[in-house]
Every structure is written in C-alpha cells, then in structure tokens.
C-alpha cells in the first residue's frame, strides 16, 4: 500500500509534466475534433454528422458541442450553414489558430479591458451630447454594417468608424484620440475579422442587434441604456475572444497528463 509522508511537499510527488491539466469541456471537444478531422475519414467540403450524432460520439451535451463548433467556425475550420449543417473547411485545427496567437490573445483581452473603461462612459456621454448629424452618421454606418454582413463580407472598417463616431459624439476630443492610436486600430481590425468572419449566422444577427441597441439609446438620449448596451456589446466580444484564445491554448498545451480517450 502506498503511504505518503505528510511532511513531503505535494509537488515533489508528481513530476510537473504528469500533472492533470484542467480544461473546459469544449476544449476537449476541439481536441477530439482535431483527431477526427486528421483521421482520414473526411475531406474538405464534407458535411459532418448531425449535432445529435456528434454529441453521442463525443459523449458531451449539445450546448458544449455548439460552443466548440462556434470557436472552430470563427477560426475557419468549420462552416456552419443555417438549415444545411456543418461543413469542413480545413482538416487540421492547429494552423487555423495562428490568427489569434500571431497578435497575442492576452494582448487582445487587455485591449478589450481598455475598451470597456473608455467606451462605456463614451456611450453614456454621447447619449447626452450627440448632434443630429452624428445620429445620422451612426444610422448610416449601421445600415452599411448590416448590408456587408448580409452579403457575407467583413465590416470591420465600418464597425471601427461606428465606435469612433460615438467617441466623437462625447464632444470630448480625448475619447476619440484614445481610440485612434495605430495599435488600437490594428487590434480592432484583427478582432472584428476574427469575430465576424465565418461565424454562426445567429452570431451575426446578435452583433447587429447589439449595434442597434447602442444606437437607439444614443439617439433617444438615454445615457443609462447606452452605457448598458455598450457594456453588453463589449462583454460579449470579450467572451468570444476568450473562447478563441482558449482554443489556441488547448492546442499549444504540452501532451501528457490525464486526457480523454481518443476516438476509435
């Protein structure tokens, strides 16, 4: 029988390389999807089994599976077509995560933290100080974003301009200056591409709803609602990025420790 000396530090018992790594369920699904796609059973363009079948195959719930698929769609591995199913766009998961790691998922999260600090207050001030011309410009930008998304195009340029106009509507030039730094523009461009391209159709609808809620509150002069709508928009953006960053970390994690059994 194995006995343990109570005076021995626990980290000395098990080498670090064998320590169990905690992970969320959708991360395990992403790992198993990587094995499934590289098994030789599929080709690019193939349609995957139904959510119900895959849920049984992976031994996980449908919400967890959808969460994993949302990440894989956002990184270009899968394409989710409403009413048609899930289609394969790449047979490997790892290379597609380079878009996030190239700019640093942590750096983007720092940037989103900065945006929350600046843009929530900016939305509230814009609701109190916006001009009629700025309201018209915001309406025009929302229409443009919606047209681009419906056409399957990326709308990061218009989305960036939407947030800049809100900053300008505070009538405080420091807000707009803070959002116009070169690094901020780059981070915004990269993140909006990741968040909007090849994502779930329902996610595009949610993005549009969030923009409309921000615009309506500013147009109506409701500062409290404008702040709340902007906070919701940025928190949802951060949640999406954390999912994407977690997918990268799951793929970069050293092999070893306790893992789920590979697909047979």
| Percent of the chain at pLDDT exceeding 90 | 25
| pLDDT at 261 > cutoff 60 | no
Tell me if 72 sits within 8 A of 64, measured CB to CB.
Answer: no
Q: Is the pTM of this model over 0.75?
A: no
Which pLDDT does position 196 carry in this prediction?
Answer: 57
Alpha helices in the chain (DSSP H): 25-37, 51-58, 62-74, 98-101, 105-129, 132-150, 156-168, 173-179, 182-196, 201-219, 223-252
| pLDDT at 136 > cutoff 80 | yes
DSSP state of 81: E
Take residue 258 and report the two structure tokens written for it: 């306790």
Which pLDDT does position 192 carry in this prediction?
Answer: 64
78-98 confidence digits (pLDDT tens): 887 777 888 888 777 654 444
Range of weakest confidence among 19-28, 45-54, 78-87, 139-148: 19-28
**C-beta neighbour count of 2 within 10 angstroms:** 4
In this prediction, residue 205 has a pLDDT band, given cuts at 50, 70 and 90, of confident
Q: Which domains does the chain have, with CATH numbers?
A: 102-244 (1.20.120.530)
């Amino acid at each position: 029988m194995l006995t343990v000396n109570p005076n021995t530090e626990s980290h000395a018992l098990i080498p670090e390389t064998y320590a169990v790594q905690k992970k969320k369920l959708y991360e395990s699904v992403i790992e198993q999807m990587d094995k499934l796609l590289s098994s030789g059973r599929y080709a690019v363009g193939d349609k995957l089994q139904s959510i119900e079948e895959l849920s049984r195959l992976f031994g996980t719930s449908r919400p967890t599976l959808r969460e994993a698929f949302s990440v894989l769609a956002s990184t270009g591995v899968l394409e989710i077509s409403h009413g048609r199913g899930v289609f394969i766009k790449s047979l490997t998961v790892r290379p597609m995560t380079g878009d996030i790691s190239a700019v640093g998922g942590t750096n983007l999260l720092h940037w989103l933290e900065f945006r929350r600090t600046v843009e929530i207050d900016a939305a509230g001030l814009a609701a109190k100080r916006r001009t009629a011309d700025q309201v018209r410009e915001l309406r025009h930008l929302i229409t443009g974003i919606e047209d681009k998304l419906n056409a399957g195009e990326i709308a990061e340029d218009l989305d960036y301009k939407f947030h800049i106009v809100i900053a300008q509507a505070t009538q405080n030039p420091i807000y707009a200056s803070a959002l116009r730094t070169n690094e901020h523009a780059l981070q915004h461009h990269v993140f909006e591409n990741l968040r909007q391209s090849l994502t779930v159709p329902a996610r595009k609808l949610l993005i549009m709803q969030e923009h409309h809620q921000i615009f309506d509150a500013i147009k109506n002069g409701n500062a409290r609602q404008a702040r709340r709508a902007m906070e919701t928009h940025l928190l949802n953006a951060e949640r999406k990025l954390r999912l994407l960053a977690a997918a990268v970390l799951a793929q970069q994690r050293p092999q070893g420790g306790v893992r789920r059994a590979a697909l047979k």
